[in-house]
Structure 1
Amino acid sequence: MSILGAIKRLAAVGAVVLAAVSLQPTTTASAAPAPVVGGTRAAQGEFPFMVRLSMGCGGSLYSSTVVLTAAHCVGATGNNTSITATAGVVDLQSSSAVTSRSTKIYRAPGYNGYGKDWALIKLATPINLPTLNIATTTAYNTGTFTVAGWGAAVEGGAQQRYLLKASVPYVSDATCNSASWYNGAVITTDEICAGYAAGGTDTCQGDSGGPMFRTDNSGNFIQVGIVSWGDGCAQPRSPGVYTKVSTFASAIAAAAATL
């Protein structure tokens, strides 16, 4: 990654959520739904696999006792009881929220701040809600994706009480790496870009670690990305960058089996 100003989308350090910027489209084909102001509220139960983590990140239920999130959200692999996972609600102040403390962290081996941006959190007690399957092949790595989170609704803004959602289209590596987008050759082969040329819709600070997902051939949700980083939020020709889950599917499954 060579671009200056690229940021992880972690709430504590100025990172990822649903943006609230209204921009004029550059072309009809690349236009974001206008106007977009931080996405729209998700309905209760719409995405039951969504998890909010107490350090200011998102995640998804890989299993009832394992949360999949971003490596930059957590510390080194090992025992850790400092994280609280909240699930089962779109309103974080709801009395119906289900919570569980962490017991261990597994951070992707070799993670050094760039690429390999995935991690697992082991929970002390099960969260018995639907889980989110992960993509094991590249078959679902294009198309239109859904992103959701409790992150900022504007760049640099406050975290949200209610879960927000938005749709973002796939952006090819060639386009994302072009000089007019991310200034050339910054997106690695284990990352996916998604967003609009005009900007206006994006993940933002506090969305880090949350899932980017779509439906599979059976109509079920499948996770294809993990919110990782971006150049601000919802800026033109600067789409969100997501960890490509299919690249790490085998490693994720193997690591989860050890927790």
Structure 2
Amino acid sequence: MRRWRTLLATFAALVTALAVPGAAQADTSVVGGTRATQGEFPFMVRLSMGCGGALYSPNLVLTAAHCVGATGTNTSITATLGVVDLNSTSKITRKSNYVYRAPGYNGNGKDWALIRLASPATGLATLPTASTTAYDTGTFTIAGWGAASEGGSQQRYLLKATVPFVSDTTCNSASMYNGEIIASNEICAGYAAGGTDTCQGDSGGPMFRRDAANAWVQVGIVSWGDGCARPNKPGVYTQVSYFSSAIATAASSLGG
């Protein structure tokens, strides 16, 4: 069974808690992370159902399929953009008007979706997707507002960390995921010793790195994992390069 990295059940209560003036706030989210600076990752998006995302175009957010419902009209999602502090008065919010979930998604692979915003979020950098496997190895950056530890709650501040690529063969070994990884369209990243990872509430957020021109490019979408930051249990991400053409086609159909 896939262990998604969402906080769907508790997100509404957590948002309420975050809004209480003077409430104590933790300084960590991504497990083992450090706080991102304002403007460092302007493409990061927080979604009201308890997931993350990346701004694919001014009116489209790329996220995980398991974060959304079926393809169709959807006006229930609020996207928060432009800030690292979810309580900031400078935050930008947009409502959704449509969701496109990967065709054939059944909970096993194909974990990507696009959310169309009711009005574009202009003035923010978007995050290009990798269209080849050239950037699918090396060291990646992860970021999100998810839990600081397994079983924890959403955080107020955006955290970042770096994690190394783990080969499909290693990730599918008996000591890790024992054949659960879909090698053709999932990518693993993390440390054998654990300690740094995405966690619940980070689902749908991007995993990214610098390309040959030193620009950020998205290589993964936070999908699932066994707990958070456990030894020999790296994070599992949707391999964006495998789906880049399908994502681009869907984006075009949505006007993005």
Structure scoring higher RCO (CA < 8 A, sep ≥ 6) equals 1
Is 1:202 aligned to 2:202, yes or no?
A: no
1:185, CA displacement in angstroms? 1.1
Counterparts of 2:69 and 2:195 in 1: how far apart (Å)?
Answer: 32
Query: Secondary structure of 1:159's match?
Result: coil
The partner residue of 2:125 within 126, 130, 133 is: 130
**TM value normalised by structure 2:** 0.90
1:158, CA displacement in angstroms? 1.1
Query: Could you tell me which residue of structure 1 aligns to residue 88 of structure 2?
Result: 94
Counterparts of 1:114 and 1:52 in 2: how far apart (Å)?
Answer: 24
Is 1:238 aligned to 2:250, yes or no?
A: no
Which amino acid is 1:230 matched to?
A: G
List alignment gaps of at least 5 residues for structure 2: 11-28
Counterparts of 1:226 and 1:210 in 2: how far apart (Å)?
Answer: 6
Query: Could you tell me which residue of structure 1 aligns to residue 25 of structure 2?
Result: none
Query: Could you tell me which residue of structure 1 aligns to residue 30 of structure 2?
Result: 18
The partner residue of 2:187 within 184, 192, 196 is: 192
Counterparts of 2:78 and 2:8 in 1: how far apart (Å)?
Answer: 16
1:180, CA displacement in angstroms? 1.1
Counterparts of 2:169 and 2:9 in 1: how far apart (Å)?
Answer: 29
Query: Secondary structure of 1:7's match?
Result: coil
Counterparts of 1:13 and 1:206 in 2: how far apart (Å)?
Answer: 11
Counterparts of 1:162 and 1:122 in 2: how far apart (Å)?
Answer: 25
Paired residues for 1:164-203 under 5 Å: 164-182=159-177, 184-188=178-182, 189-203=184-198
Query: Aligned-pair RMSD on alpha carbons?
Result: 1.3
Paired residues for 1:49-64 under 5 Å: 49-64=43-58
1:251, CA displacement in angstroms? 0.3
Query: Could you tell me which residue of structure 2 aligns to residue 72 of structure 1?
Result: 66
Runs of 4+, deviation exceeding 2 Å: none
The partner residue of 2:222 within 224, 227, 238 is: 227
1:77, CA displacement in angstroms? 0.1
1:123, CA displacement in angstroms? 0.3
Is 1:113 aligned to 2:107, yes or no?
A: yes
Query: Could you tell me which residue of structure 2 aligns to residue 31 of structure 1?
Result: none
Counterparts of 2:214 and 2:55 in 1: how far apart (Å)?
Answer: 19
Query: Secondary structure of 1:157's match?
Result: coil
Is 1:9 aligned to 2:2, yes or no?
A: no
Query: Could you tell me which residue of structure 2 aligns to residue 156 of structure 1?
Result: 151
Counterparts of 2:163 and 2:9 in 1: how far apart (Å)?
Answer: 24
Q: Give the fraction of aligned pairs with identical amino acids, expressed as a percent.
A: 71
* Number of residue-to-residue matches in the alignment: 235
Query: Secondary structure of 2:225's match?
Result: strand
1:13, CA displacement in angstroms? 5.4
Counterparts of 1:88 and 1:18 in 2: how far apart (Å)?
Answer: 18
List alignment gaps of at least 5 residues for structure 1: 20-35
Counterparts of 1:251 and 1:80 in 2: how far apart (Å)?
Answer: 21
